[in-house]
Amino acid sequence: MRRASFLFWLDLVLLLTFALLQEPETTGLWGHEWISIGLAVLLFFHLLVNWRWIVGALRRYTANSRRHRVNTWLNGLLYLTMVFTIFSGILVSRFVLPSLGLESSEVKMWRQLHSLVADGTLAILGLHVAINWDWIANVIRRWRRGAAHPETHGGRSLLQRLGLEGVGRTTVRLGKLVVATALVSVLCYLPVAALARAQDPRGPETRWQHPDFGDIPGEVVGQILVVAGAAVVGRYAFKVRL
């Protein structure tokens, strides 16, 4: 499998998973929380695979074109909102934290911000799709002509093509990513902890105890349409494709 094809499928899984998580009633709250943990793992893997691009984009930021600079900011914003959404969801979780012997937060603002930032992330995902549309189209074109042009990898393994061939190097990158994510989480926590005072009076969570799997296709399609709408707006109205 080509590196580009692998990244395409990984990104698609991330998008579909995030769309699924927008409506907790489809999976039930237990499923919603644990699927979110799976999303966090996939997100870390996504960042590790794209580590070289991230470092290169930051080092060459001033020398890059306007489009690349906008793309760098957009990816950074998407990372921040994803981290905030997952972190705030963990703080108010009814299953994940208790399973670790920890108490979830009863601060009402966390729940409000969790939903608000998650909704905003859908729009950012749409802009992300818009600015990377040419890359997506090129991957699809390669599939269509794949039978006539078999893949050649020069004897390199998939891990080598993904930049994950060295255990030590990958571990160092993972450590840096964990530190950066922890720092972002702390920076998210401090202002909310300083400002929030109202507690959530609802007590133990009783909603969404029973999943409604039959609604999953419709809900996911609905969220994908939101992303598609944001992509169209970004591509044409806001001219994100620079």
**CA dist 88 → 28, 207, 228, 233 (Å):** 18, 18, 26, 28
CA atoms within 13 A on the CB side of 81: 19
Structure tokens at 211: 């999943």
Q: What rounded mean pLDDT belongs to the chain?
A: 86
- Quote the percentage of the chain above a pLDDT of 70: 88
Report whether pLDDT(4) > 60.
Answer: yes
Q: For residue 48, with 0-12 CB atoms within 10 Å meaning exposed, 13-18 middle and 19 or more buried, which class applies?
A: middle
pLDDT in the model for residue 63 = 86
Q: How far apart are CA 188 and CA 156, in angstroms?
A: 41
Residue 150 Ramachandran class (φ > 0 left, ψ -120 to 50 alpha, else beta)? beta
- In the block, tokens 């794209």 appear at 50
How many whole angstroms separate alpha carbon 57 and alpha carbon 76?
A: 11
Sequence-ordered strand ranges (E) for 21-145: none
Higher pLDDT, 194 or 181: 181
Confidence of residue 206 (pLDDT cuts 50, 70, 90): low
CB burial of residue 123 (10 Å; 0-12, 13-18, 19+): middle
Element (H, E) at 104: none
Question: What are 44-91's pLDDT values in tens digits?
Answer: 999 999 998 899 999 998 888 888 888 899 999 999 999 999 999 999
C-alpha to C-alpha distance for 76 and 70, rounded to whole angstroms: 10
HSE (CB half, 13 Å, CA atoms) of 24? 18
How far apart are the C-alpha atoms of 86 and 79, rounded to whole Å? 11
Helix (H, G, I), strand (E, B) or coil at 209: coil
| Residues 80 and 184 sit within 8 Å (Cβ to Cβ) | yes
**What are 139-157's pLDDT values in tens digits?**
888 887 764 455 555 567 7
Residue 203 has pLDDT above 80, yes or no: no
